Amino acid sequence: MAGKGKSSAKRIAYQEFGSPDNSSALERGVPDLPPDRQDLRIQTTRSGRKGKTVTIITGFQHKPETLSKLLKQLKAKCGAGGTVKDNSLELQGDRKQQLLEIVTKLGYKAKISGG
């Protein structure tokens, strides 16, 4: 029994071209669409935040670097803290109307969702 104890998972039987590590080919590209082609939703929530209200903006199709730059602008204009989570922006406080005005001036299409 030759090869007993050796891993056969890395054994290549046939490879036409390229490297065996194709993880870069499997990564999804993140589209960085212009603001006028994005539909945003603005809502406030308190669930899971110990009673603190946060305003969440979802629907972004930007790279993480672009989102962090946009968050920095919004935090400065609102005078509030915030963070980027899962391609959405969270700002502290109930700022639906204020953020709606700011993002529409920046060229985004946005709506207030929820009650």
pLDDT digits (tens, 9 = 90+) for 3-32: 555 555 677 777 677 666 666 655 666 677
Check: CATH 3.30.780.10 for 31-112? Answer: yes
Calculated CA dihedral for residues 67, 72, 46, 42, nearest 10 degrees: -60
Position 94 scores a pLDDT of 94
| Largest distance between two CA atoms of the chain | 73
Domain locations in the chain as residue ranges: 31-112
Position 35 scores a pLDDT of 83
Continuous segment of H or E residues that includes residue 27: none
Name which residue leads in pLDDT, 55 or 36.
55
Mean pLDDT (the chain, rounded)? 84
> pLDDT for 69-94, tens place per residue?
999 999 999 999 999 998 899 999 99
- State whether residue 110 is helix, strand or coil: strand
Tokens coding 41: 């939703």
